[in-house]
């Protein structure tokens, strides 16, 4: 590729200029950029920006990649950057990356720039583009999806972490002959961000839910009804909450908080994971804090979850696995319309090498009450 100006999707991609230095600092010194781009100098100074403009960006072009400033076509003011790196010519492959200045976020700049540069790369012979994100960087993963990149998997310990150690990266890929438009998802967002029947509300799990989730899932009676029956650590719970949006975007699992609609108080949690995507089958689970039990909240939550599963998520069948003696959970499922499908003997891991039976319930759309 050559550093030609590209105008598409409402943004302008152009070479960097000396007067961009202040905007480069504004973007690269931002805490969010620093958090997810561990290779940037810290603190990031004007000298670093000028070194990038004078040396780093030209070197990217010379190496067969690209380094563009993303600008507003009306003012030519810099909004962010987008570029190509790690080209592998014989594979027709390169890696695409971007960042946006804080004042320009939330306007679709990253998505527009990624689409514009992807189209330019494909038009000049690239066949495969990779986009790598930190697991906790869900906004960047939404950009990838909106720009037509599909989730491909985890690159284990692929990047050094700031301060030592290494961390995983998620790989998103777009091919030159992929269909235009955003990539499809099996687990769509909740309509309006939540599900509610006026009594119970479900919303996506967020990092701030870690304390209540740890309190709920470390309770002895909750631990006893999971496999294996081992309480989670606080660290594992915090990580689960930090990665909840990413796990949803990668079609792994949709984790939700159950909330009392009148008070806004957390009542429990529920979730849905894909078990047989090609068959349209998913599995659900749920748990309530003690003070909210016996009020029908679990039944309401499962009914809301099933309605979303059969509606926007397009599932054809739901299952729920239970401990055979968890009669309270059985009653919840039966009130929603689930029926007992079978006992799977020794299906689940227990403690000290033992195995646990799994009593499975199933629900079809026509049976939802």
The domains of the chain, with CATH numbers, are 6-175 (3.40.630.30), 191-367 (3.40.630.30)
CA separation for the pair 56, 135 (Å, rounded): 27
pLDDT in the model for residue 304: 98
pTM metric for this prediction: 0.93
Name the band, by pLDDT with cuts 50, 70 and 90, for residue 3.
confident
Report helix angle 327-336 to 297-310, nearest 10. Answer: 50
Torsion sign across C-alpha atoms 243, 247, 249, 253: negative
Quickly state the pLDDT bin for 71 (edges 50, 70, 90): very high
Tokens (6 digits) for 21:
């230095």
Q: Is 108 strand, coil or helix?
A: coil
Residues 6+ apart with CB under 8 A from 315: 280, 281, 282, 309
With cut-offs at 50, 70 and 90, classify the pLDDT of residue 348: confident
Give the Cα separation of 145 and 291 in Å (integer): 40
pLDDT tens digits, 183-242:
999 999 999 999 999 999 999 999 999 999 999 999 999 998 888 889 999 999 999 999
Strand 194-196 and strand 166-175: pairing? unpaired
Q: Quick one: pLDDT at residue 163?
A: 82
Mean pLDDT of 124-150: 97
Q: What are phi and psi of 90, to 5 degrees?
A: -70, -20
Predicted pLDDT at 177: 96
pLDDT value at position 164? Answer: 87
Instruction: Give, as one character, the DSSP assignment of residue 43.
Output: S
Percent of all residues in the chain with a pLDDT value above 70, rounded to a whole number: 100
Give the pair of three-digit tokens for residue 69. Answer: 């400033």
**Are 287 and 213 a contacting pair, CB within 8 Å?**
no
CA–CA dist 135, 244 (Å, integer)? 10
Beta-carbon neighbour count of residue 190 at 10 Å?
Answer: 19
What is the arithmetic mean of pLDDT over 336-341?
A: 96
Predicted confidence at residue 227, as pLDDT, reads 83
Give mean pLDDT, residues 18-42: 95
In this prediction, residue 95 carries a pLDDT of 97
Q: What is the mean pLDDT of residues 241-258?
A: 97
Which two structure tokens, joined as six digits, stand for 315?
């599932």
* Ramachandran angles phi, psi of 98, nearest 5°: -160, 160
């Amino acid at each position: 590729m050559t550093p030609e100006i590209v105008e598409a999707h409402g943004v302008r991609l152009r070479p960097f200029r000396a007067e961009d230095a202040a905007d480069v600092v504004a973007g690269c010194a931002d805490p969010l950029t620093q958090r997810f781009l561990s290779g940037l100098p810290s603190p990031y100074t004007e000298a670093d920006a000028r070194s990038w403009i004078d040396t780093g960006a030209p070197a990217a072009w010379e190496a067969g990649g690209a380094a563009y400033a993303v600008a507003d076509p009306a003012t030519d003011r810099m909004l962010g950057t987008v570029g190509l790196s790690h080209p592998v010519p014989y594979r027709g492959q390169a890696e695409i990356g971007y960042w946006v200045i804080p004042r320009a976020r939330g306007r679709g700049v990253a998505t527009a720039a990624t689409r514009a540069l992807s189209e330019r790369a494909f038009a000049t012979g690239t066949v495969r583009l990779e986009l790598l994100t930190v697991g906790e960087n869900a906004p960047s993963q939404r950009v990838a999806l909106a720009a037509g990149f599909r989730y491909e998997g985890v690159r284990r310990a692929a990047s050094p972490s700031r301060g030592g150690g290494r961390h995983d990266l998620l790989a998103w890929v777009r091919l030159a002959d992929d269909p235009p438009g955003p990539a499809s998802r099996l687990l769509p967002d909740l309509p309006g961000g939540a599900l509610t029947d006026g009594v119970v509300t479900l919303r996506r799990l967020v990092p701030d839910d870690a304390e209540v989730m740890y309190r709920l899932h470390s309770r002895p009676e909750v631990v006893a009804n999971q496999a294996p029956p081992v309480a989670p650590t606080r660290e594992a719970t915090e990580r689960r909450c930090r990665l909840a949006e990413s796990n949803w975007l990668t079609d792994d699992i949709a984790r939700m908080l159950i909330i009392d609609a009148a008070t806004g108080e957390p009542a429990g949690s529920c979730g849905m994971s894909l078990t047989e995507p090609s068959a349209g089958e998913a599995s659900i689970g749920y748990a309530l804090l003690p003070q909210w039990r016996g009020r029908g909240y679990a039944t309401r939550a499962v009914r809301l979850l099933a309605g979303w599963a059969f509606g926007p998520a397009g599932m054809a069948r739901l299952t729920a696995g239970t401990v055979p003696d968890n009669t309270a959970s059985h009653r919840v499922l039966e009130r929603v319309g689930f029926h007992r499908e079978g006992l799977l003997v020794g299906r689940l891991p227990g403690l000290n090498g033992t195995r646990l039976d799994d009593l499975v319930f199933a629900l079809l759309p026509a049976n939802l009450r």
